[in-house]
Structure 1
Amino acid sequence: MTPTGNTKPQLPASQRLDLRHVNIEYVVDRVESALMTRLHRDQVVKKRRSMGYRSDRGTWVRIECRGLERLDGQGWGLEAAGVLASVPIPAWHAGLSWHDPARQVMWRADETALIDEPPIGRSIAASSLPDSWWTELDRAMEALAEASTTRLATPDLKPISVERVRTAIAKVFPDAETPIEEWSTAHADLNWANMTGPELWILDWEDWGRAPRGLDAANLWFSSLAVPGLADKVLERRRADLESVTGRTMRLFKCAELLAWAAEDEPLHAPAARAVRDLLGGTAMSRAS
């Protein structure tokens, strides 16, 4: 669906609307009516582009705002993720979506099983996860990688592609080689805030799909660089992905995305720069040096 009439070009919804600061009570009213349940509005979990609520029947309801520019024919990620076997995803129960012409966005609500296990959140909290958690993560990531799908991953709301990866790296490391030889199925937003512990559940599936091998592992490795020993732990567990030809490119991609804009006082700047020197053998000219 696309807007009609004399609609002027506008910023993507992710830049126009921050749900942490926008009143969407009329959206919540509609979701409650359609799902025939009441949401605990005083316990809402707010993020930039989604909001989550417990329901009065012991389920979880996630409401997402998506700009019309993101209607790509792939469907809604959480509902589609129901086909992924052996991956710890909250069971999906029901969903609804509609066009909001006043805001020029699509709204989507999904009702799922309620997961009481808390998100890990900050990377420092991941340091104390038991070995059993890492074993479950390995199993989940291997099952996900092997899943067949026609969906294309959309990390940070944008479709992944060879051109996107190489362009991002070339901005910072113009002489770096960036081979991408393998693709697999990925969550595409795998970070410590989207996983629970000590029992593993993986949350927020709106961006999953095919991606260069190692994207998920590179996300975790990169977000762990500032915590002593944690990135090494991720590398140890996911070495086959991260040390593959494509996996090394994905690690460089994650570092380049940050180093393109970050000042030296950014906590991840120094460890990312050191990681790049290891990846490139200290030979490339870059802003990280």
Structure 2
Amino acid sequence: MTADTRVPRSVPRLRLRGVLDWTAPDGAYRAELTEYMPVAPVTSGSPALAQDIALPDAWWSDLKNTLGTLATVPTERKSVRQGWVDRNFCRFLGIDPVQIRQTTTGHADLHWANLTHAPLVLLDWENWDASPSATTSASYTRTRLPRSDRLPDPARVRPRPEHRRRPDSSRSLSSSRTCSRGVHRTLACRAENHTGIPVPAS
């Protein structure tokens, strides 16, 4: 709910219309009702691209400006902490963990099923937070086509230079983290090809 109240309206997203919280023996739950979205996401059924796409330059400009605005929003929300990095870098990537030296507020789940065609709207905000720099562009990178010549490099949409910190590690860790839950086999294959390490099960 904090994204609806704390993120500027210039960041294109659906307006929140209602929230319902409840608890059950197996956990706590929240359902959110948003306004209707008439524009289709770039992909559906999977966050990964199955074929090349053509998006206008204005769309990419809007995305870059959106991420730049979002990066300025202060928040105490954090989903990736140093302890998680220490535990999982070796497990997923086979390398020593890096130190989180800088975080940037971002969407944290930026992929093609969470982006609409023009006009641009960002969907699925429950994970937005201050993440290690490069997380947002890593989420985008992991889901575009391998060796795609038509889609821009993530540098085109990164709003700040610090997003370049360890992009390959961030990309692979982001993919492996998601795929370890047993979903998105296409992404798992890409992560395994990049790291040479099978994605472990959760």
The change in CA–CA distance for 1:90 and 1:173 in structure 2 (over 3 A counts) is: closer
Q: Does 1:143 align with 2:65?
A: no
Over aligned residue pairs, what C-alpha RMSD do you find? 3.1
**Aligned pair partner of 1:114 in 19, 36, 39:** 36
**Aligned pair partner of 1:287 in 182, 197, 202:** 197
Percent of matched pairs sharing the same residue: 24
Q: 1:198-232, CA deviations, whole angstroms, 9 ceiling, x for partnerless residues?
A: 211111111111111111110110111436236x6
After TM superposition, give the deviation of residue 175 of structure 1 in Å. 3.9
After TM superposition, give the deviation of residue 171 of structure 1 in Å. 1.7
After TM superposition, give the deviation of residue 272 of structure 1 in Å. 4.2
In structure 1, C-alpha distance between the alignment counterparts of 2:147 and 2:136, rounded to whole Å:
18
Unpaired runs of 5+ residues, structure 1, are 1-78, 153-158, 277-285
Q: Contact 2:139/2:175 (CA < 8 Å) preserved in 1?
A: no
After TM superposition, give the deviation of residue 173 of structure 1 in Å. 4.0
- Using structure 2 for the length normalisation, give the TM-score: 0.76
Residue 186 of structure 1 corresponds to 106
In structure 2, C-alpha distance between the alignment counterparts of 1:242 and 1:248, rounded to whole Å:
14
After TM superposition, give the deviation of residue 256 of structure 1 in Å. 4.9
After TM superposition, give the deviation of residue 162 of structure 1 in Å. 1.9
Query: How many correspondences in the alignment?
Result: 189
Kindly report which structure 2 residues correspond to 1:19-168, keeping only aligned pairs within 5 A, or say none. Answer: 79-82=1-4, 83-85=6-8, 86-101=10-25, 104-121=26-43, 122-124=48-50, 127-152=53-78, 159-168=79-88
Q: Contact 2:106/2:128 (CA < 8 Å) preserved in 1?
A: yes
In structure 1, C-alpha distance between the alignment counterparts of 2:108 and 2:139, rounded to whole Å:
8
Q: Which AA in structure 2 matches 1:211?
A: S
In structure 1, C-alpha distance between the alignment counterparts of 2:188 and 2:118, rounded to whole Å:
29
The change in CA–CA distance for 1:126 and 1:119 in structure 2 (over 3 A counts) is: farther
After TM superposition, give the deviation of residue 179 of structure 1 in Å. 3.8
Q: Contact 1:181/1:246 (CA < 8 Å) preserved in 2?
A: no
**Aligned pair partner of 1:170 in 80, 90, 102:** 90
The change in CA–CA distance for 1:164 and 1:199 in structure 2 (over 3 A counts) is: same
In structure 2, C-alpha distance between the alignment counterparts of 1:259 and 1:97, rounded to whole Å:
28
The change in CA–CA distance for 1:225 and 1:176 in structure 2 (over 3 A counts) is: farther
Query: What SS is found at the alignment partner of 2:59?
Result: helix
Residue 154 of structure 2 corresponds to 235
Residue 134 of structure 2 corresponds to 214
Unpaired runs of 5+ residues, structure 2, are none
Q: Which AA in structure 2 matches 1:235?
A: P
After TM superposition, give the deviation of residue 273 of structure 1 in Å. 5.7
> Relative to structure 2, which stretch is displaced further, 109-118 or 169-178?
169-178
After TM superposition, give the deviation of residue 271 of structure 1 in Å. 5.0
Residue 195 of structure 1 corresponds to 115
After TM superposition, give the deviation of residue 139 of structure 1 in Å. 0.9
- Could you say which structure has the greater relative contact order, defined with CA pairs below 8 angstroms and 6 or more residues apart? 2
